[in-house]
Amino acid sequence: MKFIVHTYGCQMNVRDSEAVAALLAAAGHEKAANEDEAEMVIINSCTVRDKAEQKAIGKSGNMIAAKRNGSKRLVGLMGCAVKRLGEDVFKLLPGLDFAVGPRRFGAIPHLVERCLAGERRILETAGDDEVPQGLDAHEQQGFKAFVTVLLGCDNRCSYCIVPDVRGHEFSRPGREVAAEVGALAAHGVKEVCLLGQSVLRYGRRNAAWFASDPPSLYKEPFPRLLEMLDKTQGLERIRFTSAHPGGCTDELVQAFATMPRVCRHLHLPVQSGSDRILKAMGRGYARAEYLAAIAKLRRFDPEFALTTDVIVGYPGETEEDFEATRSLMEEAQFDNAFIFKYSPRPGTRSAALPDDVSKEEKERRNQVLLADQEKRGLARNERLVGTVREVMVEGPSLRNAARWSGRDGGNRIVVFAPPRALRPGETVQVRITEAHPQILIGEALA
């Protein structure tokens, strides 16, 4: 059957969708060129905020409605919203053919067979410790790939539904990850991004597994994993996301400083700059500890790129708390920031508290932080004018096809006129001539 997968939410979902596409192709199905042509539509859902869930459910509803006009198309929903909703998913979407939770996506080819045999409304959600089949399945690759290294999350921040839907932490054995990365590199992949909800907790829960790994300079499992992957033939860049500040140890800093392939960028969600709110959130660090952690990174490289997530309007967040977040962001000098308006999620600890910051006030705080970040992003990028950045080429720029774009090690987007015919995945040196809040413009050196 011709299929299409629509993805909502985080990079983890992007990766799971790619694995599903690879598994379906291996089972003899074929990717549709567009939605109209698709005989099977799979929607990968997010539930981290209410709005995100609504989008995926809305899209599924549209796909099911289109089906009523006589087509025999299959519609399946996968991902975090399925785990949250359970059987209720069929109350919201009565015409759904199958629904599958985030740790069971490997079953999809089999569920499709069952649907083709006439079954409908199949629900499969896994237990909190299940390891999905097909974690290492990849489609025919470009030069970049995501690799899942840590499943689930055991942190239980007060506002977060992720642990309920993605289950317990499970670290894949280092050798398995190294084999996957090696195979990707052998097929031309130059950059991998290692994924986990709290990726620096890699190897903490099932530590015994790592006892037989090769000798290493490092004691902690995540730097050990980086060291193992750093030896991969043909691989040029290693990134990882998302990082909990608690994992920003001296060994991690040392790994950044000593392994040139490990990109000098960290997505380090701070969530708030107020100690009172951080405590209520159960984040496990105070403002000063967060700032001390990033100071270590910027000490050895002042251009070390830092990005973050912030929540505005957490229950009880006062103007003073909000101003503390504002000042932390200024002190931290983030290169980029994603700002989210607090959304109570059923079953989380904070959902029991009154959602007492008004919608308008959340919106105002959101806009203030975005405007601050716009200025800060520009100022940070202006510092780079005149410097030469090593850029991995991605392809023609979306806005102007005469120019090409790529990313530097800090994940900054760099746009430039190609000096010659270029291939995606090639590395060029670009002198920066112009700064914008979100992009750098430059000229490629011959």
Residues of the shown chain interacting with ligand SAH in the complex, contacts defined by CB under 6 A: 48-49, 159-160, 162, 197-198, 242, 244, 269, 271, 309, 311, 340, 342-343, 345
Question: Alpha helix locations (H) across 216-274?
Answer: 221-229, 250-258
Instruction: Give me the residues that bind ligand SF4 (CB under 6 A), please.
Output: 153, 155-157, 160, 162-163, 197-198, 244
Which 8-state DSSP code applies to residue 42? E
From the list ligand SAH, ligand SF4, none, pick the one residue 163 interacts with, judged by a Cβ distance below 5 to 8 Å according to partner type.
ligand SF4
Please enumerate in sequence order all residues whose Cβ is within 8 A of that of 325, keeping only pairs 6 or more positions apart, or say none.
272, 273, 274, 277, 310, 312, 369
Rounded to whole angstroms, the Cα distance separating 270 from 266 reads: 12
Q: State how far the Cα of 149 lies from the Cα of 240, in Å rounded to an integer.
A: 10
Binding at 57: pick from ligand SF4, ligand SAH, none (beta carbon under 5-8 Å per type):
none
Structure tokens at 263: 């990109």
Beta bridge pairs of residue 312? 341
For the bound state, the minimum distance from the C-beta of residue 160 to ligand SAH, rounded and expressed in Å, comes to: 5
Closest separation in Å from C-beta 27 to ligand SF4: 31
Q: In the bound complex, which residue of the shown chain has the CB atom lying closest to ligand SF4?
A: 160
* Least gap, CB of 45 to ligand SAH (angstroms): 14
* Of 11, 31, 44, 252, residue with least CA distance to 145: 11
CB nearer to ligand SF4: give 98 or 170. Answer: 170
Q: Token pair for residue 209?
A: 């597994």
- Minimum CB–partner distance for residue 242 and ligand SAH (Å): 4
Distance from C-alpha of 237 to C-alpha of 94, rounded to nearest angstrom: 45
Closest listed residue to residue 327, CA positions, set 289, 371, 285, 272: 272
DSSP state letters, 354-407: ---S-HHHHHHHHHHHHHHHHHHHHHHHHTTTT-EEEEEEEEE-SS-TTSEEEE
342 binds, among ligand SAH, ligand SF4, none (CB under 5 to 8 A by kind): ligand SAH
Beta strands in 52-158 (DSSP E): 74-79, 98-100, 122-124, 144-148, 150-151
CB of 161 to ligand SF4, least distance (A): 8
C-alpha to C-alpha distance for 150 and 168, rounded to whole angstroms: 10
Query: Buried (b) or exposed (e) across 318-332, using 16+ Cβ within 10 A?
Result: eeebbebbbebbeeb
Please say which residue, 291 or 353, places its beta carbon nearer to ligand SAH. Answer: 353
Looking at the Cβ atoms of 247 and 410, the one nearer to ligand SF4 is 247
Q: How many residues does the chain have?
A: 446
In angstroms, what is the minimal distance from the CB of 307 to ligand SAH? Answer: 11
Partner from ligand SF4, ligand SAH, none binding residue 148, C-beta < 5-8 Å depending on class: none
Closer residue to ligand SAH, CB minimum distance, 127 or 347: 347
- Nearer to ligand SAH among residue 153 and residue 189 (C-beta): 153
Minimum distance from residue 159 beta carbon to ligand SAH (Å): 4
Which of residues 311 and 357 has its CB atom nearest to ligand SAH in the complex?
311
CB of 154 to ligand SF4, least distance (A): 8
Least CB distance from residue 324 to ligand SAH, whole Å? 16
Q: How far apart are CA 89 and CA 82, in angstroms?
A: 7
Q: Which does 49 bind (CB under 5 to 8 A by kind): ligand SF4, ligand SAH, none?
A: ligand SAH
Of 102 and 163, which CB lies nearer to ligand SF4 in the complex structure? 163
